[in-house]
Amino acid sequence: MSNEMKKAQEEMEKLMKEHMKDVYGENFENMGDLMKQAFENSLSNLEKEIDIEAIQNVVPGVDMATILQKTQEAKEEALQRGNDAIVSQSEAITKAMNEMFSSGNTGLQDMISEQMKQFQAMTGIEDFTKMTPEDMQNYYESQMNMWNGLENGEEEDVSLEGVGSLIENMYNSLPDGNKIKVKNGDEYIEKFEILLSGILSYINGHENDTLDVEEHDDFFNEKINYILTEFWGIESKEDVYDTIGWLLNEGHTDEYLSYVNANTIDELITEDMDEEEVEIVKNGFEFAKYFKDKLPENIMLGWDYGRASAIVRWAYFMNYINEEEAWEILDKIAGVMIGTFNSWKEFGISYIVGGLFWTYRKDPSETYNRYYETVEALEGLLTETDDEDDGEWLRNPWIKEVL
């Protein structure tokens, strides 16, 4: 962060604290205090609803002193948990805001702006710094009601127009990164091939310095074995080649194209499909038809080939394939990716769109969750921050041609 930006941010924080004290008094050092009082008020209101006399009438001889003591203990415990959560959330928000202002990430800024609009629409308050404790309490309770509704099975509406807007925002906000030409045999090619597993490596916290994703110990052996067996059904070398062969030759690319090229959904549904399979076809067909003229037909390749790259590294880590076999497969993957995409951004967005398609066809209500999980990885790879693990795709250029 530049000194000018840092100084401006510090001044903003100072003015905010002074304003909060003017509005709420000395007891309100920050928004965490405001949220804490709202939480306390909610508990107090609940306590007021307890009709002690009515309880004694219904249950004669009840020990109200003990009940009140237990109630107070439960209240204090709940208050402490709530306060701990508020402190943790405040720290996370502060960190995220610092990263946003220091990186100039317009995509993240747009997302926060949109959330503020929703917040204003929900509360009717245009300036959140002018919230009273009652405002905060009402907002807190509305969020709890919304959360309870989601837990009881209510699903967030997902529109393909909304998904399209998210994809467009990625194209407009993320940098392309640098591009280079290299000679055949250049040592950088191996680094590039490892980084093709970048999104899954970022999500799983893997290293991208060598073929090995982690150090070899019991913990990581168990972790990688679990990924291969539980998510991919891979338990042997034959399984590795079968899975990678499917990803490189068919994958979700073929499925997506079958939906794109079908005139009607009836062409895709067969008699032996069960109800769940039919629903997957209907959702996939809907997704493909909406994006048919908005995205290139090969948009799924980054999704299929990016996952294949990760499987190669996992399989090598677990000794299902040797080093020579791993590089042979990665060479093929890199050749296709270099000939298909022009930048890390294009490759990464292809991966994310593939993940959106895969999720939407199975359960549209989970589409946004999938997006935010993977876009965080993509932004991390294409954004320089104080975290040395971020910005790997920015520091390592895309290979646009092998001479």
Query: Per residue in 172-219, pLDDT tens?
Result: 999 988 999 999 999 999 999 999 999 999 999 999 999 999 999 999
Please say whether the beta carbons of 105 and 385 come within 8 A.
Answer: no
Closest CA to 331 of 192, 183, 181: 192
Give the residue from 261, 317, 330 showing the smallest Cα distance to 292.
261
Domain end among 151, 179, 198 = 151
Q: Are residues 31 and 172 in the same domain?
A: no
69 and 192 belong to one structural domain: no
Query: What pLDDT, in 10s, does the model give residues 233-258?
Result: 999 999 999 999 999 999 999 999 99
The pLDDT, as a whole number, for residue 243 is: 98
**Structural domain range at position 378:** 160-402
Of 116, 151, 186, at which residue does a domain stop?
Answer: 151
Q: Which of the pair, 155 or 178, is modelled with greater confidence?
A: 178
What is the enclosing helix (H) or strand (E) of 361?
Answer: helix 344-362
Which of 381, 374, 389, 388 minimizes the C-alpha distance to 175?
381
Residue ending a domain, among 102, 118, 151, is 151
| Contacting residues for 20 by C-beta, under 8 A, at least 6 apart | 28, 29, 30, 31, 34, 129
140 & 164 share domain: no
Residues 123 and 52 placed together within one structural domain of the fold:
yes
**In a shared domain, residues 232 and 252:** yes
* Count of domains forming the chain: 2
Q: Are residues 141 and 232 in the same domain?
A: no
Is there a single domain that holds both residue 243 and residue 389? yes
Q: Are residues 185 and 53 in the same domain?
A: no
- CA atoms of 271 and 310, how far apart (whole Å): 36
pTM of the predicted structure, to 2 decimals:
0.64
Do 90 and 204 have their domain in common? no
Confidence at residue 53, expressed as pLDDT on a 0 to 100 scale: 53
User: Does one domain contain both 65 and 199?
Assistant: no
Identify the top-confidence range among 58-67, 143-152, 248-257: 248-257
Domain identity same for 102 and 243: no
Q: Over the chain, what is the mean pLDDT? A: 78
> Do 385 and 364 fall into the same domain?
yes
Quick check: 163 and 356 in contact, CB under 8 A? yes
